[in-house]
Amino acid sequence: MEKTTYNRQVLKADIVHLGLGAFHRGHQAVYTDLSNESMESPWGIFGINLLGSADLVDALNSQQCLFTVVEKSATATTCRQVRALAGALHTPASGIQAAINKLTEAQVKIVSLTITEKGYCTDPQSRRLDLANPLIRHDLTSPRAPQSAIGLLVEALRIRREKALSPFSVLSCDNIPANGVLTRNAVLDFASQLDAGLAAWIEQQVTFPGTMVDRIVPAMTPEQFAVIEAETGYADPCGVVCEDFRQWVIEDNFVAGRPQWDNAGAMFVQDVVPYEEMKLRMLNGSHSFLAYNGSLAGYEFISECMADPVLNAAVFHLMVDEQAKSLDLDLHLDVDQYARLLIARFCNPHIKHKTSQIAMDGSQKLPQRAIDPWRTLQARKVQRNGLSLLIAGWLHFVLDAVSRGQTLADPLNDEFYARVTPQDSSWERAHALLQIESIFGTLASSNAMFMNEVRQAFVAIEKDGVHAAINHVLQQENV
Ligand code: NAI
Ligand code: CS2
């Protein structure tokens, strides 16, 4: 068991983290724990969950906030105990005031977030705060008792300003392009609805560094909890099993200091966007391709999809011949090598990453993973058949669920049902989904090429199944 040795009795809430899910425990908490080893004063993290069940927070508090991370490569296993968590709370149980109090403690220097794409309550196309979002509507009428993460951040910053406490940096660690800019815009949009002076103060005093985060940390299952027990000899309801790879690229723009995460392997840079775009399109875009087309082909896990030579070759094509060609910036990176590393990571048989997990919240993921690169490739006259298959796979995935009456794990579930008329032909139903502007902008009415190519892919999957469709569509000459 790997274990750090710094004195954790002195840990305070230097970082408050919103969204204490699997990813935070397997990524930022590990970096903080490892970097604490070389710091004079270790940084503590206080985790807050605004939603979901209280079980995790209760279990953490009953085990001194210590938890296990089991890291698995294809051939080796490392078990670590993570010691950087100083405390945790769950607002549905303890009330939102407890969270506000935590964020307004004088020593808080960073508030970090992994609240999923939908947690920012923004419109995925315009990237601005969605004022019609029910949580935001609630918080604008009750700003002192917010329910959303954005409302909580603004309320905490209002109090800090009033009490002349120093501001904190807001660090989004979600898979969103330019996540710092998006978070800043959401916070400023919210604050300016309430108080222009507060919005101006936030604009001047608070920073929102962008990050690229990477480590595959699947949702835990009973089988994976059994893996922890088998590897360590004890059960840990707060542990996670993840891959051994990890990467963190961070814009170095903090108002109140930061841990030396670079001592644990993080990279501090001026501009994180090129790294984010590369990772979001090549890794996450391929994940979504496999999530939809892999689940249509009957696969439960990503590693099973990768054992299928047709899907394996298709994602390599998508990474190298499409997504890589949609990128702008020269990182002096060998994209073939990056793609091969991604393929090897996806093949790791010990990482039980469900296609159904990645398929969740597709309406929030498609714009950055598929739609933006599709538009860029069209402008560059580069074929984008793999992306069309990804979008067509999503259409089938949603329509299949709707035709069975299943609820989709997606904030637009009700909108899908409202738009789809069961009596329509399958392409008419797909067409209705393609008109959702928060996902597709105005492509349905303004881009005949987009509609034709997605239709070709959609019909091919319907007629011949995923394998034949991949073989057929990837041969097309669409530029
Ligand atoms: P999880 O399901 O374990 O945790 C999600 C967390 O987000 C929970 O704490 C939940 O309370 C919170 N949350 C969900 N909706 C929210 C909302 N509307 N407002 C406030 N909080 C909300 O998921 P996990 O694995 O921790 O992933 C979370 C995010 O981390 C992903 O969506 C992604 O953006 C990012 N990420 C995840 C990776 C992974 O492999 N799991 C890798 C890279 C990034
Ligand atoms: C996945 C990501 O759930 C998803 O949408 O694509 O969470 C992926 O596992 C991570 O970004 C890997 O860093």
In the reported structure, the alpha carbon of residue 177 is separated from the centroid of ligand 2 by a whole-number distance in angstroms of 13
User: What pLDDT does 373 receive?
Assistant: 98
Q: What is the pLDDT of residues 244-262, one digit of tens each?
A: 999 999 999 999 999 999 9
d(C-alpha 275, C-alpha 248), whole Å: 10
Closest to 348 (Cα-Cα) out of 118, 139, 74: 74
User: What pLDDT does 177 receive?
Assistant: 95
> In whole angstroms, how large is the CA radius of gyration of the chain?
22
- The arithmetic mean of pLDDT across residues 189-215, rounded, is 98
- The arithmetic mean of pLDDT across residues 333-356, rounded, is 96
Predicted confidence (pLDDT) at residue 79 exceeds the cutoff of 80: yes
Identify the residue whose C-alpha is closest to ligand 2 atom 6: 284
User: What pLDDT does 479 receive?
Assistant: 78
Q: What is the pLDDT of residues 27-71, one digit of tens each?
A: 999 999 999 999 999 999 999 999 999 999 999 999 999 999 999
- pTM attached to this predicted model: 0.98
User: What pLDDT does 453 receive?
Assistant: 97
Ligand closest to CA 246: 2
Q: Is the CB of 345 under 6 A from ligand 2?
A: no
Q: Which of 116, 179, 182, 248 to mutate to test the pocket of ligand 1 (most atoms within 8 A of CB)?
A: 116
Q: Is the CB of 23 under 6 A from ligand 1?
A: yes
* C-alpha dist (Å) from residue 187 to 20, 159, 183, 211: 20, 15, 6, 17
User: What pLDDT does 477 receive?
Assistant: 78
Q: Which of 23, 30, 139, 240 to mutate to test the pocket of ligand 1 (most atoms within 8 A of CB)?
A: 23
Confidence of residue 222 (pLDDT cuts 50, 70, 90): very high
Q: What is the pLDDT of residues 343-353, one digit of tens each?
A: 999 999 999 99
What is the dihedral sign for C-alpha 5, 7, 11, 15? negative
- The arithmetic mean of pLDDT across residues 296-310, rounded, is 98
Token pair recorded at residue 405: 């009456």
Predicted confidence (pLDDT) at residue 332 exceeds the cutoff of 80: no
Identify the residue whose C-alpha is closest to ligand 2 atom 4: 358
Q: What is the pLDDT of residues 146-175, one digit of tens each?
A: 999 999 999 999 999 999 999 999 999 999
Q: Which of 114, 217, 287 to mutate to test the pocket of ligand 2 (most atoms within 8 A of CB)?
A: 287
User: What pLDDT does 44 receive?
Assistant: 98
270-302 b/e (C-beta count within 10 Å ≥ 16 → b): eebbbbbbbbbbbbbbbbbbbbbbbbbbebebb
User: What pLDDT does 478 receive?
Assistant: 79
8 A C-beta contact, residue 477 and residue 320:
no
Q: Is the CB of 20 under 6 A from ligand 1?
A: yes
d(C-alpha 305, C-alpha 318), whole Å: 15
In the reported structure, the alpha carbon of residue 284 is separated from the centroid of ligand 2 by a whole-number distance in angstroms of 6
Token pair recorded at residue 407: 């609820």
In the reported structure, the alpha carbon of residue 360 is separated from the centroid of ligand 2 by a whole-number distance in angstroms of 11
- The arithmetic mean of pLDDT across residues 1-25, rounded, is 98
In the reported structure, the alpha carbon of residue 267 is separated from the centroid of ligand 2 by a whole-number distance in angstroms of 20
d(C-alpha 50, C-alpha 34), whole Å: 27
* Mean pLDDT, all residues of the chain: 97
Q: What is the pLDDT of residues 389-442, one digit of tens each?
A: 999 999 999 999 999 999 999 999 999 999 999 999 999 999 999 999 999 999
Q: Residue 233 class from Cβ within 10 Å (0-12 exposed, 13-18 middle, 19+ buried)?
A: exposed
In the reported structure, the alpha carbon of residue 191 is separated from the centroid of ligand 2 by a whole-number distance in angstroms of 30
Ligand closest to CA 149: 1
Token pair recorded at residue 315: 């994602």
Q: Is the CB of 116 under 6 A from ligand 2?
A: no
Query: Between 396 and 330, whose confidence is greater?
Result: 396
User: What pLDDT does 375 receive?
Assistant: 98
Query: Between 399 and 475, whose confidence is greater?
Result: 399
CA angle 68, 73, 76 (to 5 degrees): 80
Kindly state the percentage of the chain with pLDDT values over 90: 96
In the reported structure, the alpha carbon of residue 333 is separated from the centroid of ligand 2 by a whole-number distance in angstroms of 21
Identify the residue whose C-alpha is closest to ligand 2 atom 8: 216
Q: Is the CB of 175 under 6 A from ligand 2?
A: yes
d(C-alpha 350, C-alpha 348), whole Å: 6
Q: Is the CB of 214 under 6 A from ligand 2?
A: yes
Q: Which of 117, 284, 302 to mutate to test the pocket of ligand 2 (most atoms within 8 A of CB)?
A: 284
Q: Is the CB of 216 under 6 A from ligand 2?
A: yes
Kindly state the percentage of the chain with pLDDT values over 70: 99
Q: What is the pLDDT of residues 90-107, one digit of tens each?
A: 999 999 999 999 999 999
d(C-alpha 190, C-alpha 140), whole Å: 8
Nearest atom, ligand 1, residue 121 CA: 18
